[in-house]
């Protein structure tokens, strides 16, 4: 019996960081989904976590549902960051190293420096690590910990970038 193997991504989305605002209109979620699917070429089998504050739960749940992912909400300072860190750090090895759908890339959609340690650990463990951030919002240490940086087109908005691609790739290593 032959097994088909397809790689997938582990994706963590800080929706408020992506939007560039602490208050996300629920109708913006469709824009966010379209952008993420197109810019990152997300597939149904990717492992996706979407997080935000409880007052943005409608948008967080809409994006997570559309991306076949899990919604995470947490109130307080760095609430979304903390639940995403927890999701990244506690993803079971069996999910990361699945014989039929192993994770090949970790994608962090946030520019916050709090993700530097986990990004570095994944990269040192052999995973390709990509960070997606708004220009001017990416922490230097996080950028240095990743293999690839993709900038969102316009700070606070999800629109096509100046290039033909939805996200502008800044570096690869």
Distances (CA, A) of 59 to 1, 5, 29, 171: 43, 33, 5, 30
Strand ranges (E), the chain? 8-14, 47-52, 70-73, 103-109, 128-133, 148-151, 168-172
Question: Beta-carbon neighbour count of residue 155 at 10 Å?
Answer: 13
The pTM score is: 0.87
The CATH topology of domain 8-172 is Rossmann fold (3.40.50)
Note the pLDDT tens digit of each residue in 99-133: 999 999 999 999 999 999 999 999 999 999 999 99
Residue 21 tokens read as 């605002």
Quick check: 69 and 11 in contact, CB under 8 A?
yes
Confidence of residue 153 (pLDDT cuts 50, 70, 90): confident
Q: Which residue ranges make up each domain of the chain? A: 8-172
Does the pLDDT of residue 157 top 70, yes or no? no
How many helices (H) and strands (E) the chain has is answered by: 7, 7
pLDDT of residue 166: 41
């Amino acid at each position: 019996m032959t097994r088909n193997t397809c790689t997938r991504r582990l994706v963590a989305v800080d929706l408020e960081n992506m939007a560039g605002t602490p208050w996300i209109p629920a109708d913006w979620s469709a824009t966010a989904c379209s952008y993420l699917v197109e810019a990152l070429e997300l597939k149904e089998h990717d492992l996706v976590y979407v997080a935000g504050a409880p007052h943005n739960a409608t948008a967080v749940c809409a994006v997570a549902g559309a991306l076949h992912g899990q919604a995470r909400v947490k109130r307080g300072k760095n609430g979304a960051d903390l639940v995403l860190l927890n999701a990244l750090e506690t993803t079971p090895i069996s999910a990361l190293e699945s014989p039929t759908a192993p994770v090949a890339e970790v994608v962090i959609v946030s520019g916050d420096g709090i993700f530097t340690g986990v990004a570095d650990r994944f990269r040192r463990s052999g995973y390709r690590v990509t960070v997606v951030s708004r220009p001017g919002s990416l922490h230097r240490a996080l950028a240095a910990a990743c293999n690839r940086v993709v900038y969102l087109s316009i700070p606070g908005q999800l629109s096509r970038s100046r290039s033909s691609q939805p996200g502008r790739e800044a570096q690869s290593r």
